[in-house]
Amino acid sequence: MKNLFVLFTKNQPFIYKVFLFVISTFLIIYLLPKGGQFKYNFQKGKPWQYENLYAPFSFTIKKDAETIKKEEENSIANVIPYFEYNSEKATQSRVDFSDLLDNVYVDSLYSTSKSETKRIGLSILNEVYTNGVINEIYPYAPDKIVYLTKGNGIEEIAYSQLFKEINLKNKINAEISKTASKDINPLLQKLLGRTLVSNVDFNSNLTQKAIDSEVKAINPNRGIIEKGGRIIAKGEVVEGDKFQILNSLKSEYQSQVWSESNLLWLLIGYSLLVSLVFLMLFLFLKKYRPEIYENNNKVTFIFFNVFLMVLLTTFVVKLDAKYVYVVPLCILPLILKAFFDPRLGLFVHVLTILLLGFVVPNSFEYMFLQIIAGIVTILTVSELYKRANLFISVGQITLIYIIGYFAFFLIQEGNIQSLEAETFGYFILCGLATLFAHPLIYFYEKIFGLVSDVSLLELSDTNSKLLKELSNKAPGTFHHSLNVANLAEAAANEIGANAMLIRVGALYHDIGKMLNPTFFTENQANSINSHTELDPKESAQIIINHVILGIEIARKYNLPDRVIDFIRTHHGTSLVYYFYKMERDMNGSANLEDFTYPGPIPFSKETAILMMADSVEAASKSLKDPTSSKIDSFVEKIIDNQMEHGQFLNSNITFKDIQVIKKVLKKKLNNIYHLRVEYPE
């Protein structure tokens, strides 16, 4: 049991990767469609590239979406709407008219009698309430047949037979013109206008049921292909009926009911394919990004983002496949580039698209557009911490989407007449969603403890609390750090290293000195040296301890590990030679371990550059009457000595890079120490 525990502990990182591999594969398979994959890839407007295709089984030809949409529109237009008649309102209207007339009629004002006036008014009401009164205008033709429900009965009438309230004035005028009672027109207009109410309402419930019934009755099929019948011949262009028949066969093939044995084989096939994708990702990390491969937190971060994009795309496809291009897939390479590097970002992006090929419709078109967009993202998005760069890049990505989709549409349709501008709107929404990368990067930094260029820019602010404290307590060290930052940044730019990261690392690499600033010569304001009263071994320990103290301060201020790496490695395992020689001269011998920095040695280009720049800048202060030849000589000497002692063995830096760095450092130091004209007093 103990041996098993030791074995588990020793191989814990590898076991975790195996677990991550298995769980990621399982989750992706769960999201993939559970149906057969059609083995032929075809596009509208392109020739059939396979041998003659015969129907493997009998299947129905599906109508295309546009045809079904038109049939639905025709069915809806032909549906007979329902209106509901309220007899109580009609009766009440007559009663109200009679009562109101009795109250306001004055014999001396009108030549027409009260009874005649009532007869005319009730006659009008009876006529308009025969089929009912409506107060809304509906978009139906006058001769449109409608159903009018009265109690338990239904009448079929023309829409024009329903009386509209706005026609009351004309109705009264027409009735009055048939008699000699024109003097009561104003009275009737007033009384009927107050008592006439609509008693017919549109019955949306019954009408909608009728619409649903008609739409449901639409046959989605328009024919049948018998088993063995030829569907398409080799070289034929896939268009019109051929395209629709192939789509029908594909749909029928993918929607077949799978038996348990078929489903098992399907899952085995998916497992192998998804496993291959994730295996390629692991192999890429192990071979080309070993520092990421060894960090399970970073590996988890990458797998999480792949799964998130597959999950989001699958959800959108199930909701409505036409919105698939709204998913901002380019966020994936953008974020991975921000935290790692462009090559890894593009590689993971392509692998993710391969997985999505099982999910999305028109997989070739989708994969082509997304890969091109991913390449554009990698090529255009630079210096993400500059907000304008992200907006410009998102515009370029959106433009590429639109151009690519437009090109595919021309190939498939051969014209632009049926082009829908709505689709371009989806690409614009996708571009806007890509802008969400900034807050997402901040979220990932907090959750996974990673650091991006945006955070590095914030850390490079010399007005930050920690750097302010360094400049106040150890001004000489702060000035030294600024000079090292400038030298290292210039060298990093020349060899293609991360200049922003190395600048931040240089600014913080000596923060451990601010606890004992006077023990470091750059902070000694006078000729008094604090080391004169100390033993060489004690002095060496104080000098060495600034690395340990720097790490402690960095952790206290929550500096990222990538920055702390510069503090740990900027002296590597080098020797504090001054005090080592002093100890040896005093006692005849000295223990190397007492005067050696604990390391580790630099393990990246950036940390190696900082070691060179730090050593060269510090040593340059001891040069008397610096000339170009002196500067060149001492730069060569210092860096060659570091190489001889194996300080760069783990830093993945080439001899060519080192030569370029030497050249940059020489040039920069020559500019700093160039001869100046002596001004007259």
pLDDT in tens, 83-122: 999 999 889 998 988 888 888 888 777 777 888 888 888 8
359 and 484 in a common domain: no
| pLDDT value of position 9 | 64
> Do 19 and 296 contact (CB within 8 A), yes or no?
no
Does 139 sit behind a cis peptide bond, omega within 30 degrees of 0 on the bond before it?
Answer: no
275 and 405 assigned to the same domain: yes
Top mean pLDDT of 34-43, 44-53, 332-341, 667-676 is at 332-341
Q: Using the structure block, give the residue that is written with the tokens 């588990």.
A: 8
Lowest mean pLDDT among 18-32, 137-151, 245-259, 293-307: 245-259
Q: What is the DSSP letter of 231?
A: E
Q: Is residue 47 part of a domain?
A: no
Domain count, the chain: 3
Do residue 95 and residue 19 come from a single domain?
Answer: no
Residue 142: pLDDT over 50:
yes
- The beta strands (E) that lie in 20-117 are given as 53-54, 59-62, 82-85
- Segment 260-284 shows an average pLDDT of 87
pLDDT for residue 104: 85
Report, as an integer, the average pLDDT of 647-672: 90
- Mean pLDDT, rounded, for 495-503: 89
Q: What is the pLDDT of residue 457?
A: 81
Instruction: For 434-447, write each residue's pLDDT tens digit.
Output: 888 888 888 898 88
Alpha-carbon torsion (291, 297, 302, 303), positive or negative:
positive
In the listed set 380, 410, 444, which residue is the last one of a domain according to the structure? Answer: 444
Three-state DSSP string of 569-609: HCCCCCECHHHHHHHHHHHCCCCHHHHECCCCCCCCHHHHH
DSSP states of 504-562: HHHHHTTGGGGGSGGGSGGG--SS--GGGGS-HHHHHHHHHHHHHHHHHHHHHTT--HH
Helix (H, G, I), strand (E, B) or coil at 154: strand
- In tens, the pLDDT along 597-616 reads 988 999 889 999 999 999 99
Return the number of other C-beta atoms located less than 10 Å from residue 420's C-beta: 10
Closest by CA to 491, choosing from 345, 599, 619, 615, is 615
Residue 170 has pLDDT above 70, yes or no: yes
pLDDT for 533-562, tens place per residue?
Answer: 788 888 889 889 999 999 999 999 988 888
Rounded to a whole number of angstroms, the CA Rg of the chain reads 42
Based on the fold, state whether residues 338 and 411 are members of the same structural domain: yes
User: Considering the domain boundaries, does residue 681 fall inside one?
Assistant: no
- Quick one: 603 and 509 in the same domain? yes
41 is a domain residue? no
Q: Do 361 and 338 belong together in one domain?
A: yes
Let me know whether 433 and 566 are in one domain.
no
CA distances from 292 to 114, 115, 305 (A): 101, 101, 15
Last residue of some domain: 386, 419, 444?
444
Strand partners of residue 146: 157
pLDDT exceeds 60 at position 260: no
Is the overall model pTM greater than 0.75, yes or no?
no
Q: Are 417 and 537 within one domain?
A: no
pLDDT score, position 452: 81
Q: Which of 268-277, 305-314, 340-349, 386-395 is least confident?
A: 386-395
Q: Is the pLDDT of residue 257 over 50?
A: no
Summarize the confidence of residues 343-351 as an average pLDDT.
95
Q: Where are the alpha helices (DSSP H) in 340-474?
A: 342-356, 363-380, 387-413, 421-434, 437-448, 453-459, 465-473
Averaged pLDDT of the chain: 85
Measured between alpha carbons, how far is 600 from 574 in angstroms, rounded to an integer?
Answer: 10
**What CATH number does the domain containing 500 carry?**
1.10.3210
Q: Is residue 229 part of a domain?
A: no
What is the per-residue pLDDT across 579-600, written as a single tens digit (0 to 9) for each?
Answer: 878 888 887 777 888 888 988 9
- In the structure, what pLDDT confidence band is assigned to residue 673 with cuts at 50, 70 and 90? confident
- Within-domain flag for 367: yes
Q: Give the pLDDT band (50/70/90) at residue 7.
A: low
Which residue segment(s) compose the domain that 176 sits in? 76-214
Mean pLDDT, residues 274-282 taken together: 95
At residue 158, the 3 state secondary structure works out as strand
Residue 558 lies in a domain: yes
The answer on 428 and 481 residing in a single domain is no
Regarding whether 626 and 477 lie in a shared domain, the answer is yes
The per-residue pLDDT for 70 is 87
pLDDT value at 383 more than 80: no
Contact present, 454 and 440 (Cβ < 8 Å): no
Nearest to 642 by CA among 566, 554, 572: 572
- What is d(CA 542, CA 166) in angstroms, rounded to the nearest whole number? 99
What are the b/e assignments for 359-382, b being 16+ CB within 10 Å?
bbeebebbbebbbebbbbbbebbe
Residue 170 and residue 290 share a domain: no
Estimate the crossing angle of helix 499-508 against helix 605-620, to 10 degrees.
50
Average pLDDT score over residue span 35-60? 75
Tokens representing residue 553 in the block: 């301060």
Q: Classify residue 185: in a domain, yes or no.
A: yes
Q: Is a pLDDT exceeding 60 seen at residue 280?
A: yes
Give a yes or no: residue 176 inside a domain.
yes
The per-residue pLDDT for 677 is: 45
Q: Could you tell me if 137 and 196 lie in one domain? A: yes
Query: Does residue 504 surpass a pLDDT of 90?
Result: yes
Distance of CA 439 to the CA centre of its chain: 11
Domain boundary residue among 151, 180, 214?
214
Is residue 413 scored above 80 in pLDDT? no
